[in-house]
Amino acid sequence: MTPERLQRIKRMLNNRQTDLTVCLEDVHKTHNLSAIVRTSDAVGVHYVHAVMSSDNPLRMRTGTAKGSQNWVQVIQHDSSQSAIRALRQQKIQLLATNLSDRSVDFREIDYTQPTAIVFGQERDGISDAVLTDADAHIVIPMVGMVQSLNVSVASALVLYEAQRQRAAAGMYGTCTLPQDEQQRILFERGHPIYAEICNNKGLPYPKVDDNGEIDADEHWWQQMKYSNTQSVLV
């Protein structure tokens, strides 16, 4: 790992917002999921929750969102109930993007609080159960003829408002990720070849030191050397 890459990864880690997240309820289109994950990474969201029913074509698909998903953890849920339960355990405010009698302008929300923003399925929107459970409904003001924006566009607007508020409150620049998560990212993204070998062989990841170098004992290096030799022979 070059010093430049190490500094870039560390800078990213220092700006991750572990208490700001997005929950996608059965989003079906690859380009929408990809765009939302990309925007999430751009504003520092580290975890995206995705409710995916058994017939969702994106379920368990690898490579969705391409490079962005290397940095954002997409947590899949079988049902909306399990997703909301997981979010509520974090003592988080739940916002549903929905036009209703309780709706408020999305810019009136305090996003410096622990927040999960729910975006619904492209055709049917958010389920009634989630709408009922939400702490607030938010809308993006529309003054034209269309009644709604594409879900990926809507998510970008809301997430960048959250980013604006959090930046003004000084919430960027300090890493809040657990140490083991920081180490996982540093190893997988700083030393991807060795990470692949570890995954293939079921080996634990070694520590990455402050200079971005692998800190492992001789036994670990011997296993890596043997794996590399085997790869060349094959």
Q: Which residues are annotated binding-site positions?
A: 97, 140, 149
Q: How far apart are CA 156 and CA 38, in angstroms?
A: 9
Q: Find out whether 169 and 17 touch, Cβ atoms under 8 Å.
A: no
37 closest CA partner among 55, 57, 16, 22:
22
- Binding-site residues for S-adenosyl-L-methionine, please? 97, 140, 149
User: Distance of CA 166 to CAs 14, 43, 141, 172, 173, Å?
Assistant: 14, 10, 22, 7, 11
Quote the DSSP letter at residue 203. Answer: P
Contacts of 99 (CB under 8 A, 6+ apart): 137, 139, 147, 148
Give Cα 172 distance to the centre of its chain: 16
